[in-house]
């Protein structure tokens, strides 16, 4: 089954859009989820990201790859407004995010996972997901303290919804386990569930397959595609595992020293001599 | 941290223990078998329990170290005394219970306002800086209280900052504090305040807002990226804690004949911090027990009072050594896992192993 779905998506036809990027053909008529224009950030004179342009279609699975220290996570931090860019803009669902903070960006429909897992480790698995539902199913402090009827109905809703989301990864049986005591792979999956709970239109995954074995990675690939199909959202992921990136990503963007060196489909990226050079280095003249 | 069933049991145990302790003390009071010193300690114990729980809300649940908690208690205490005196002299409200309730509410509101004013600048800081600034604010409150003069004339309050020669009956006399306070606090009122505090804090923890507060404690960046307004929820915990401390202050103040501002010095804040740390950070029941014990013990062991600080130091050193010893810690973890497993009806080890996929 995984072979089928992987093939289906790696052969998506990609078409160019005005902002010098590509999106899947099916998303052409719709507003892109994310548009980055000339995005850049400097840390005390060091240009960590420079002139970064990217457009992501409404249901695209996009990949962001590059050697270590290329600035991939910095791009994620710029999109989620952890850092404010020194140049350029980020548009989410067509809205300019300049001057916004992390919370406002999240409310626009961005959710993310972290490279070094950031779960609420002293809370249970279900409570972690419920935090993701914080802005979806809401009631005030006094309702909570006085246990008004709204408290009981909303709590029940939160409970059902979190079990539903956990069942995406077959984790509904672990709802009462303390998040910090989960095995590594399960913690990564829980982070994805928690991000999904915020009802995002763009899901940013920072190395989702790190620390997973090939079998788990295979499952993860299927799940990412299933999530995209079921929720009709866009996914952007940073990953070093090339089987995952080449298998499910439709548009891939390669970053090196903070600059985009290539953009295209998996096939194009694999053939691109600039990308090969960035990863493997240039062949010495004498060897040639 | 705990399963749903475990949480319910924990809450029931907490409420059960407090109620049982109240009933026992009350029957001892009735039969007259309680010593005079202990009798005098009953209301202060309730006040310190509320203080410990409310500080635990900031330290254990919200994860910020606040060292100015006695400041809020002082605001609540003096507001309560003024309001009670005002009601008695200005409006001839003779009903003690009614005056006490209004005084406690007023004390809570005043301390809450102080909490908002202090929280706005302070909650921008983190860690040690926050602790230092709250410490300073606690001292500022005490020094302000040192030069406040309040009197009641007819049905209006007169407020002065320099001159104690205000017209009417003097309620607050600057550094001399409140004198000739009517003692209207009762043990029943104290017990009800403890129950009220427990309901507020335990219900908060198991609600959307409480989870948001704990999420910020566990991982601020992740909480923000889930769309949680960090400032709002930190402020919520801080102000709620100040309100409860203010109510405890009113209860405490109205149990004294005289009360000077110097009573709420920095070492009182530390005292409450000791209750919280000894009872277990984030553990509400622990706060209740340690506040009770540490208020009663010095009175009971008055004969050995000169050795108190010595023993304190030794206990602190032993605790530090013990908690940093990996062998002791792993042994303790095993023990708690076993106990927890027995309470919740399953083995702590399998719960952990069940996560393997």
For A103-149, write each residue's pLDDT tens digit. Answer: 999 999 999 999 899 999 889 999 999 999 999 888 989 898 999 99
Residue A233 pLDDT exceeds 50 = yes
Instruction: Name the strands in the sheet holding A87-92, side by side, starting at the edge strand that comes first in the sequence.
Output: A46-56, A34-43, A87-92, A95-96
pLDDT at B182: 82
Residue A2 pLDDT exceeds 60 = no
Q: B211-238: per-residue pLDDT in tens?
A: 999 999 999 999 999 999 999 999 999 9
Mean pLDDT of B255-281: 88
Nearest to B211 among A118, A127, A177 (CB): A127
Q: Report the first-to-last Cα separation within chain A, whole angstroms.
A: 43
Residue A176 pLDDT exceeds 50 = yes
Q: Find the DSSP H helices in A141-250.
A: 141-146, 149-167, 184-197, 214-231, 242-248
Q: pLDDT tier at B279 (50, 70, 90 boundaries)?
A: confident
Residues in B closer than 8 angstroms to A107, CB to CB, are: 227
Residue A45 pLDDT exceeds 50 = yes
Query: Across the strands, what pairs with A54?
Result: A36
pLDDT at B295: 86
CB burial class (10 A; 0-12, 13-18, 19+) of residue A285? exposed
Residues in B closer than 8 angstroms to A174, CB to CB, are: 354-355
Rounded to 10 degrees, the C-alpha dihedral B104/B200/A140/B62 comes to 100
Nearest residue in A to B357, CA atom? A186
The string of DSSP letters for A56-112 reads: E-TT-EEEEE-STTSSHHHHHHHHTTSS--SEEEEEETTEE-TT--HHHHHHHTEEE
Rounded to 10 degrees, the C-alpha dihedral A177/A179/A180/A184 comes to 100
Ranges of beta strands (E only) in B169-253 are 169-173
Residue B208 pLDDT exceeds 60 = yes
Residues in B closer than 8 angstroms to A198, CB to CB, are: 226-227
Nearest residue in A to B200, CA atom? A145
Q: Where are the domains of chain A?
A: 1-109+200-288, 120-199
Average pLDDT, chain B: 85
What is the rounded radius of gyration, in angstroms, for the C-alpha atoms of chain A?
20
pLDDT at A267: 87
Decide if A230 touches B, using CB distance below 8 A: no
Residues 63-122 of A with CB under 8 A from B: 80, 82, 101-103, 106-107, 111-112, 114, 118-122
Q: B215 vs A186: CB contact, 8 Å cut-off?
A: no
Nearest residue in B to A115, CA atom? B222
Q: How far is A123 from chain B (nearest CA, A)?
A: 5
pLDDT above 90 coverage of chain A, percent: 45
ipTM over 0.90: no
Q: Which of B206, B194, B207, B200 is nearest to B292 (CA)?
A: B194
Q: B207 vs A145: CB contact, 8 Å cut-off?
A: yes
Q: B14-54: per-residue pLDDT in tens?
A: 899 999 989 988 888 888 877 877 888 889 999 999 999 99
Nearest residue in B to A138, CA atom? B208
Q: B209 vs A140: CB contact, 8 Å cut-off?
A: yes
Mean pLDDT of A54-79: 91
Q: How far is A3 from chain B (nearest CA, A)?
A: 23
Q: Which of B275, B242, B298 is nearest to B74 (CA)?
A: B242
Q: pLDDT tier at B122 (50, 70, 90 boundaries)?
A: confident
Mean pLDDT of B287-315: 80
Q: B101-113: per-residue pLDDT in tens?
A: 999 999 999 999 9
Nearest to B204 among A82, A144, A182 (CB): A144
pLDDT above 70 coverage of chain A, percent: 91
Residue A23 pLDDT exceeds 90 = no
Q: Which of B324, B301, B299, B321 is nearest to B311 (CA)?
A: B301
Q: Which pairs with CB-CB distance under 8 Å and at least 24 residues apart come from A99-104? A: A101/B224, A102/B221, A102/B224, A102/B225, A103/B224, A103/B227, A103/B228, A103/B229, A103/B230
Q: pLDDT tier at A1 (50, 70, 90 boundaries)?
A: very low
Mean pLDDT of B90-102: 86
Q: Which two tokens stand for residue B268?
A: 């009182």
pLDDT at A68: 87
Q: B355 vs A102: CB contact, 8 Å cut-off?
A: no
Residues B263, B265, B267, B269, CA torsion sign: positive
More confident residue, A21 or B40: B40
Q: How far is B199 from chain A (nearest CA, A)?
A: 8
Return d(Cα B92, Cα A74) in angstroms, integer.
Answer: 68
pLDDT at A192: 93
Residue A284 pLDDT exceeds 90 = no
Q: How far is A85 from chain B (nearest CA, A)?
A: 17
Nearest to B356 among A141, A183, A195 (CB): A183
Q: How many CB atoms lie within 10 A of CB B307?
A: 11
pLDDT at B344: 59
Q: How far is B110 from chain A (nearest CA, A)?
A: 19
Q: How far is B203 from chain A (nearest CA, A)?
A: 5
Mean pLDDT of A177-185: 89
More confident residue, B320 or B118: B118
Distance of CA A196 to the CA centre of its chain: 10
Nearest to A177 among B222, B224, B355 (CB): B355
Q: How far is A30 from chain B (nearest CA, A)?
A: 26
Decide if A157 touches B, using CB distance below 8 A: no
CATH 3.40.1390.10, applies to A1-109+200-288: no
Q: Which of A78, A113, A141, A205 to mutate to test the interface with B (most CBs of B within 10 A)?
A: A141
Q: B226 vs A131: CB contact, 8 Å cut-off?
A: yes
Mean pLDDT of B176-205: 90
φ, ψ of residue B159 in degrees (nearest 5):
-125, 130
Decide if A151 touches B, using CB distance below 8 A: yes
Mean pLDDT of A37-52: 90
Q: Structural domains in chain B?
A: 4-300 (1.10.3470), 307-346 (no CATH)
Distance of CA B40 to the CA centre of its chain: 19
pLDDT at A4: 45
Q: Which of B225, B231, B345 to mutate to test the interface with A (most CBs of A within 10 A)?
A: B225
Q: pLDDT tier at A234 (50, 70, 90 boundaries)?
A: very high
Q: B197-207: per-residue pLDDT in tens?
A: 999 999 999 99
Residues A117, A120, A126, A127, CA torsion sign: negative
Question: Residue A232: left (phi > 0), alpha (psi -120 to 50), or beta?
Answer: left
**Are B209 and A141 a contacting pair, CB within 8 Å?**
yes
Q: A243-259: per-residue pLDDT in tens?
A: 999 999 988 999 998 89
pLDDT at A19: 53
Nearest to A103 among B3, B4, B227 (CB): B227
Residue A12 pLDDT exceeds 70 = no
pLDDT at B304: 74
């Amino acid at each position: 089954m995984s072979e089928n779905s992987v093939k289906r998506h790696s052969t998506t036809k990609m078409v160019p859009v005005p902002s010098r990027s590509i999106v899947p053909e099916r998303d052409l008529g719709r507003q892109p989820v994310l548009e980055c224009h000339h995005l850049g950030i400097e840390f005390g004179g060091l240009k960590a990201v420079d002139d970064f342009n990217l457009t992501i279609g409404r249901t695209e699975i996009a990949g962001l790859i590059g050697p270590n220290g290329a600035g991939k996570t910095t791009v994620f931090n710029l999109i989620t407004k952890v850092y404010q860019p020194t140049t350029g803009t980020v548009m989410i669902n067509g809205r300019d995010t300049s001057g916004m903070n992390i919370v406002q960006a999240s409310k626009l429909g961005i959710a993310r996972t972290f490279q070094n897992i950031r779960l609420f480790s002293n809370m249970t698995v279900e409570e972690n997901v419920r935090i993701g539902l914080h802005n979806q199913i809401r009631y005030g402090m006094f309702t909570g303290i006085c246990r008004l009827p709204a408290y009981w109905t909303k709590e029940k809703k939160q409970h059902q919804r979190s079990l539903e989301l956990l069942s995406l990864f077959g984790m509904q049986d672990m709802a009462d386990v303390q998040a910090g005591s989960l095995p590594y792979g399960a913690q990564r999956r829980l982070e994805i569930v928690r991000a999904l709970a915020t009802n995002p239109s763009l899901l940013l995954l920072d190395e989702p397959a790190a620390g997973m074995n090939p079998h788990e990675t295979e499952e993860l690939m299927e799940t990412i595609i299933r999530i995209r199909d079921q929720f009709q959202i866009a996914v952007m992921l940073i990953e070093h595992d090339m089987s995952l990136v080449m298998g499910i990503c439709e548009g891939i963007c390669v970053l090196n020293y903070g600059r985009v060196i290539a953009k295209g489909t998996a096939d194009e990226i694999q053939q691109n001599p600039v990308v090969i050079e960035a990863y493997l280095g240039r062949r010495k003249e004498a060897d040639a | 941290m705990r399963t749903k069933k475990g949480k319910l049991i924990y809450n029931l145990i907490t409420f059960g223990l407090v109620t049982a302790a109240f009933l026992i003390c009350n029957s001892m009071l009735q039969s007259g078998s309680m010593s005079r010193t202990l009798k005098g300690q009953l209301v202060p114990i309730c006040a310190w329990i509320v203080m410990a729980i409310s500080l635990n809300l900031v330290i254990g649940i919200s994860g910020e170290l606040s060292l100015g908690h006695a400041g809020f208690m002082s605001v609540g205490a003096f507001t309560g005394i003024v309001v009670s005196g005002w009601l008695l002299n200005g409006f001839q409200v003779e009903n003690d219970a009614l005056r006490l309730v209004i005084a406690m509410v007023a004390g809570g509101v005043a301390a809450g306002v102080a909490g908002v004013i202090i929280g706005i600048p302070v909650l921008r800081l983190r860690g040690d800086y926050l602790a230092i600034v709250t410490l300073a604010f606690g001292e500022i409150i005490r020094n302000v209280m040192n030069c406040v003069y309040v009197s009641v004339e007819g049905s209006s309050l007169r407020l002065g900052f320099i001159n104690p020669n205000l017209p009417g009956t003097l309620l607050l006399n600057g550094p001399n504090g409140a004198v000739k306070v009517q003692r209207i606090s009762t043990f029943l009122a104290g017990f009800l305040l403890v129950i009220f505090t427990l309901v507020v804090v335990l219900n908060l923890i198991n609600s959307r807002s409480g989870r948001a507060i704990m999420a910020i404690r566990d991982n601020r960046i992740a909480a923000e990226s889930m769309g949680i307004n960090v400032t709002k929820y930190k402020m919520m915990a801080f102000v709620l804690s100040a309100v409860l401390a203010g109510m405890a202050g009113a209860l405490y103040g109205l149990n004294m004949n005289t009360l000077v501002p110097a009573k709420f010095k920095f070492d009182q804040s530390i005292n409450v911090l000791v209750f919280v740390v000894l009872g277990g950070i984030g553990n509400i029941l622990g706060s209740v027990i340690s506040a009770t014990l540490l208020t009663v013990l010095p009175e009971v062991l008055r004969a050995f009072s000169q050795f108190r600080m010595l023993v304190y130091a030794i206990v602190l050193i032993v605790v530090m050594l013990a908690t940093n010893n990996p062998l002791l810690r792993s042994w303790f973890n095993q023990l708690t896992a076993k106990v927890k497993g027995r309470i919740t009806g399953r083995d702590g080890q399998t719960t952990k192993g069940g996560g393997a996929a």
